[in-house]
Structure 1
Amino acid sequence: MLLQKLVLQNFRNRDDDTFDFSPHLTIFLGENARGKTNLLEAIYFLINGSGFRESREEELLCIGKNQANVEGRFIMGNGKRDFKIHITKRDGIVEKIYFLERTRKKHAQYMMDQTKAILFAPEHIEIINSSPDIRRAYFNKFISYYDGEYKKKVVNLENALRRRNKILERVKDDIQLKEELSFWNDYILQQATYITKKRGEYVEYLNDHPKLDHKEFRIVYLKNEVTLERFREVLEEERRWHRTMIGPQKDDFQIYIKDKNVHHYGSRSEQRLAVFWLKINEITYHESIYKKKPILLLDDVFSEFDKQNKKMVLELIEKYQTVLTTTEEEVIDLIDVPKKIIRV
């Protein structure tokens, strides 16, 4: 499916706007702080059902507004399909309502009929140079898109950890503590087994597709195993810290170029290339499952990439419908494909 038109009402800083798109490349061109990334996020939101910057969904609404609409028309073969997400805030609670051809749909039904948007953004370098929780969040979001059961297990695990930690903080008697922890230990083990299995499967997929730009990447899954025996071994430490010390919430992922750990020893260029490797595999994984091309969203990536990385981006643009933002006029001349320029 190709995005043809986007209509926004009260989304971020856009109160009432309509945009038409090239089937090849559309460029949002303008100075910083003009809302170019907001437009990319609107497309991402329409396609993937969530934004990529908000900490709370109410941030997607224009300031002072309680309702917003994001609508899009997509071309598929000789036909068209109209998608819409209505956002409403009432008594501090935000609700999203999904529509396909003006018929209300459940979220799962809506997502099944939608295409996929793959985002490239400068802040994705945090996957490499930030803390393990950022990497876990990246894997969780990616796997959850394709596996609703995984998403459910992650939420279950988070809730169980909060309950278990409160028990560790509250209960002082040894016998009572072990009795109350017994249920949650079993429950966490069930959730963790599924989560680590699915994480391991995607790591295996990545390692089966290691090459990019004449370099060979690999990723190591540092799994924090959960067993009932380990729960018994760490109990005294957990009582001291009032925290659950084992489980998938402690997992990490480390990327290597051959034997070089990119997180600790990679150059800035190698770290960006590692992110690009992850993103390329997002595209190939999606295509392997759905046999469809995703839409690419590139947020000011040319300001971050060196000459070689820019070359790879240009090669991608030739293959997929792409929407990109930039502040640089010269980017327009770099890309030799049919394109539409929208000045913001």
Structure 2
Amino acid sequence: MRIAVTGSSGLIGSALVRSLEGDGHDLVRVVRSSPGPGDVRWDIDAGIIDTTNLAGVDAVVHLAGEGIAAGRWTEDHKRKVLESRTKGTALLSEALAALDRRPAALLSGSAIGYYGDRDDTELTEASPPGNGFLPEVCRAWEAATGMAEAADIRVAHLRTGIVLSPAGGALGKQLLPFKLGLGGRAGGGGQWMPWISLDDEVRAIRFLLEADVAGPVNLTAPRPVTNREFTRTLGRVLGRPTVIPIPSAVAKLPAGIGPLADNLLFSSAKVLPTVLTAAGFTFDHTELEGALRDLLDRPAA
């Protein structure tokens, strides 16, 4: 297949590109600067995308967007988070809809942030959105694919959970303090953490490139865990104590991450991959401990 990918240098995008290229697929990278031969250059702020090399692509995976945790949640950063997703998605969707030969599928990034803070409620793709900034971003992000859907391109919204990889993301940032014995639960630790291994994230995206699935798809492992269970399990895998909790008041101090803490550390969403499993996808990692041992190359005790 000939597949275009935005966000190809990110944690998920780079792993996806390696996997696809390793199996002989033809990759077209959509980049903001220094395009190589065959790449597509775009400028989201200027509303410009060079569609020359998009001609003939079979599918598009859209993963680009300003990092949620790339900075403190100032009004400027929140604007960048929103507009990088809505403007970029709308620009790409319009360009794909205008092609003479349109791709069969657009897999467009989204996130479990769609559901907001929902305590112990089990959440599926049919669940309504939550309240707050991240749910608002996700709703607008998904709505921005409208032109592609109107052009009869199959659109799947990838509501991705916490992607586990030692190379980056939430796990990558936690490894050092946990290895030093400084890891601990966030607050009371009862908040749900829908996780997925990077390997399964890539496998799920590849599955959706060809599966007849449209609409929202939760990319999370079938067994979410609480923050308390995640903390204990990571400590057990690393052989380190996890007795120092992170009080919510400390995380919200100016030296911490402020309002971001509520959304990333202390909110709860028990998200289940109903659509993905119903479509026939099989996870390699269903249990957190096994996933962490594989990712960190730690043998079972």
Q: Which has the higher contact order (CA 8 A, sep 6+)?
A: 1
TM-score by length of structure 2 reads: 0.31
The answer to which structure has the higher strand fraction is: 1
The structure in which a higher percent of residues are helix is 1
TM normalised by structure 1 equals: 0.29
